[in-house]
Homo-oligomer: A and B are copies of this chain.
Amino acid sequence: MRLADLGEFGFIGRVAAKAAVAPGVVLGIGDDTAVTSPTPGMHTLATADLLAEGVHFNLEWIDPYTLGRKSLAVNLSDMAAMGGIPRHAILSLAVPAQMSVEFLDSFMAGFIDQAARFGVSLIGGDTSASLGGLFINVTLMGEQYPQKVITRGGARAGDLICVSGTLGDSALGLEMLRSGRAPWGSLRRHLDPEPRVGLGLALAEAAIPTAMIDISDGLVADLGHIMRLSACGGRVELSSLPLSSEYRESLAGYAADPYRLTLGGGEDYELLFTLPAARVEEARILGEANGVAISVIGSVVAEPGITLLGEDGLSYEAPKRGYDHFSAT
């Protein structure tokens, strides 16, 4: 079926019928605004991510169901990085006229299934025609008690730097996609990232991290955000970076330097956080409880800047420092 046959309001009606409504949603899709009821005593957390065709995704590489999952996952990862409880999503879509209803139905199924996994209600949005490819914007709102919110700004000299999961898999997957040689399984980390919502929440509940961020721009760039806002610096030992066995096995032919993609590749959607040394074991236990390993990769120092120490103990120069959407390089 063509979108023109279903119509904008037909599409909205189909979506509204499928959107789960959780407690706290007073009025979902279908009025001028959605209405929700905040949990007394909690702050509201809000974040948005825009995914543009040809920039963030290529429809030859990702199926619509997985794209629906990913468009919410990248926002859930931001919510996790604050220790927030995800609650409500608002989805805006600009859709090329030739796109099929089946494509959009599959996209929405992926989005709504992902939302259901994390207790998120789709409460509103907007749909538009597009003359220039598919554009997806998701605004995600969440909640948390004020004293439990973890910002980027609380790292202190002497803290340890930790990361969840493994790094570089997503960036390697993207390089494999670009080369046209990749089996789908190895691309999962790039196409269908798993936001660390449970871990972020558990760490925040236990008040373990002094600062936290999710790695979307790349380890060096995102650690730089923490250190700049915390007015500290970071020393990272490359030999401590967690690499998956798939990453080690697949790397040959894509990168001579095993660290380039782990330091600057981005889109890992792992949690990067600092904590007092005395609390590392608690963090590791919470990682295990949430099915993801926690690795100590370095420490916070008083001097600003990020220092990378190679396996030889000498300073290492990172080849790439994160993704800039407007940069020509």
Binding site for B on A (CB under 8 A): 2-4, 6-9, 11, 26-27, 30-38, 40, 42-56, 78-79, 81-82, 84, 88, 90, 92-95, 97, 123-133, 135, 137, 139-142, 146, 149, 151-153, 212-214, 229, 324-328
Asked whether A33 lies within 8 Å of B55 as measured between CB atoms, the reply is: no
Provide the residues of chain B in CB contact with A328, threshold 8 Å: 2, 4
Provide the residues of chain B in CB contact with A26, threshold 8 Å: 43, 146, 149
Provide the residues of chain B in CB contact with A324, threshold 8 Å: 7-9
Given that A7-B324, A327-B8 are known contacts, is A90 also in contact with B33, CB under 8 Å in the complex?
no
Among all A-B residue pairs, the 6 with the closest Cβ atoms: A132-B132, A4-B328, A33-B47, A32-B81, A137-B137, A38-B38
Provide the residues of chain B in CB contact with A128, threshold 8 Å: 50-52, 55-56, 325
Q: How many copies does the complex hold?
A: 2
User: A139 is contacted by which of B48, B81, B95, B327 (Cβ under 8 Å)?
Assistant: B48
Cα(A59)–Cα(B97), bound, Å: 21
Given that A26-B146, A49-B126, A131-B55 are known contacts, is A38 also in contact with B34, CB under 8 Å in the complex?
no
Asked whether B52 lies within 8 Å of A44 as measured between CB atoms, the reply is: no
Cα(A92)–Cα(B135), bound, Å: 11
Provide the residues of chain B in CB contact with A6, threshold 8 Å: 326
Provide the residues of chain B in CB contact with A129, threshold 8 Å: 52, 55, 325-326
Quote the shortest CB–CB distance from A99 to chain B (angstroms).
Answer: 9
Given that A50-B92, A90-B48 are known contacts, is A4 also in contact with B38, CB under 8 Å in the complex?
no
Asked whether A37 lies within 8 Å of B43 as measured between CB atoms, the reply is: yes
Would you give 9 A-B contacts (Cβ < 8 Å), ordered by A?
A35-B149, A37-B43, A38-B42, A40-B40, A46-B123, A48-B90, A48-B126, A48-B137, A50-B127
